[in-house]
Amino acid sequence: MSPAPLRVALLGAGTVGREVARALLERGSELTAADGAPLVLAGIAVRDVDRARAAGLPAELLTDAPAHLVAAPDTDVVVELMGGDEPARTLIAASLGAGKAVVTANKHVIAHHGPELEALARRSGSALRFEAAVGGGIPVLGPLAADLAANRVTAVRGIVNGTTNYILTAMTDEGRGYDEVLAAAQSAGYAEADPSGDVEGHDAVNKLVILARLAFGSWLAPSAVTTIGTDGPGAGSPGITGVGAADIAAAAKGGRVIKLIASARRGDGDDAPTASVLPTAVAADSPFGRTAGVLNRIEIDAEPAGTGVGRTEAMTRRSSSVRAVARSLTTLPAARAASMSAARMPTCSRSRRR
């Protein structure tokens, strides 16, 4: 007997939301796990119904009342793609409180309200999935939470914002100034009209908070992440806003290039992790140095548990598997089924900008 379909409510139908909607409508059977419930798109909440209809989305699925979709008793999974803080946070919280699984790529909400939302999910037995919030094209959050769970992660670092990496690469390769490259990036669609979230490091901070949560098991306050350096490239200014031609030239003389590196390191004992998002000079021929344009790169340092040739790897894999089983057994059956199917739902990475 095949399981009953899981009805999916989609909140937001922008660039990413439209592609998720089309994938569910056109390739729903492909997105269904072999032993999972089929996914059915139950509704799409948008700001402008007429515009969404003109974009080709089915009129019968459209609504401008997202709260009604969340509250509908036959909604099983809520996919939040609205972005921003409110009303996204309230809708995610309401969904989890009602026992519905949630899939979101909203790094701001997860970074700033993660503890609250995790607690809600734990109390209700709901699944909260946010793998697409960091490095949409790099499957890093799942491995951190599962495959590396038996290891002791000591540090995580990366280039996690494509906009700033594009700007720094162009300044280095083309010899242009920050303001000129930023204007070109905005014209090309790589940077927002208000680029502060990217160039001041806020976007990278949100992503680092999420990475640190899975790496170290605790939440960092975004305000605790250092974004203004006291020395080095761009010192005294947030993110990359203070990086100038002199910084680029000084780095080049030493065979280095400047990258905006998000970095978090586990604290000693009970000490809190230390974290920063700062312009950093790295060797031009290093993996970070060769990560150019809008590309991202994430590196993880971890200490394997156990000792002995061959035994360490086997023990780590088995311990991680046992942890995965334990986590699944603490989830209510309905939510666990929703989580398994939600994990197969499509994610779209806006690699041009993020």
Given the residues 100, 107, 207, 259, select the one marked as catalytic.
Answer: 207
Peptide bond connecting 238 to the previous residue in cis, omega within 30 degrees of 0 = no
- Spatial CB neighbours of 179, under 8 Å, sequence gap ≥ 6: none
78: β partners? 9, 102
Collect contacts of 312-318 with beta carbons under 8 A, ≥24 apart.
Answer: 315/150, 316/150, 316/151, 317/150
Q: Is 207 a catalytic residue?
A: yes
- Cα dist. 68→43, 81, 181 in Å? 10, 16, 44
Phi, psi of 123 (to 5 degrees): -65, -40
> b or e along 230-257 (b: 16 or more beta carbons within 10 Å of the residue's beta carbon)?
eeebbeebbbbbbbbeebbeebeeeebb
Confirm if 259 and 168 have CB atoms less than 8 A apart: yes
Residues catalogued as catalytic? 207
